[in-house]
Amino acid sequence: MNKKDGNKKPGTARTSGRPNSNKPKPALPKRAQGPKKDKPTTEGRPAARGAAKPVKKATAPKQSKNPDEIRLNKYIANSGACSRRDADIYIQSGAVKVNGVPVTEMGYKVKPGDVVNFDGATITPERKEYILLNKPKNFTTAGEDDAEMRNVLDLVRMATTVKLKPVGRMDKNTTGLLLFTNDNDLITKFAAANQKSHKIYQVSLDKNLKFEDLEKISNGVTLDEHRLYVDEISYIEGQAKTEIGIKLRTANVKVVRAIFEAFKYNVLKVDRVAFAGLTKKNLPRGNWRFLTEQEVINLRNM
């Protein structure tokens, strides 16, 4: 009798219910290795041989640019009515008309001779400009026909090609901040008697200002039967009591002089150090700068 398991030859396997066989099983045939097929994709699929090449979409020819035409939103912004972004909102809302017809098309171009109506008012494309000058002494806002005095416009003449006007008046002895613009609405606004923006002046007197006179001025002054209210008045810290700071709402420098002259003081110098939130920071005497967009917005909202 054959021994169980002990006489099993190496290389043979025992299977349940089948007789043992000493013959090795034939090896399975190897599969042929071909090139890997690309998975089907919606984009970038390899083109089949003989297939027609995809036809490129035809592009519309570029329109010729007319240098005399200007986009509607830029036209509005150049007029000073608002920014380009806000102009787009007005256009979409139908508040802009060209030649009497509402225009809501973005990118619409205005042609020479077109009449543009913005929110009920006709506007012009001239860009509104705003320049702040730190005026030196011996320049005046008087008419240019006065040959004896140098005009402040000479100081900003090279800044722009548009015709500017000063906001308010300054005599030759007054120094400090003076605003120039071609925005007639803003000029009219700051010339109004009820204008509420503040101006700060540093005044130099011929003698010390008495404390009791300072208190009287702080309570208001009557000039030519008109009551003038003073927002603030004080001695300038670290300087003689001839140097006074006064905060008013008037842009009329003559009024500043008249206040102190009413109390028998001679005014030697007036320097406007702040005008409607604008200051002389980084603006030396005789220099000028353009206002920022935010500064212009602030002036319009006053």
Q: Which residues are catalytic?
A: 171
Query: What letter represents residue 233's amino acid?
Result: I
Helix (H, G, I), strand (E, B) or coil at 143: coil
CA 26 to chain centre: 87
- Phi and psi at residue 179, in whole multiples of 5°? -95, 140
**What's the token pair of residue 277?**
């939130």
DSSP notation for 74-107: HHHHHTTSS-HHHHHHHHHTT-EEETTEE---TT
Query: How far is 12 from 50, CA to CA, in rounded Å?
Result: 57
Query: How far is 74 from 71, CA to CA, in rounded Å?
Result: 5
Query: How far is 269 from 273, CA to CA, in rounded Å?
Result: 12
**What's the token pair of residue 288?**
């000028």
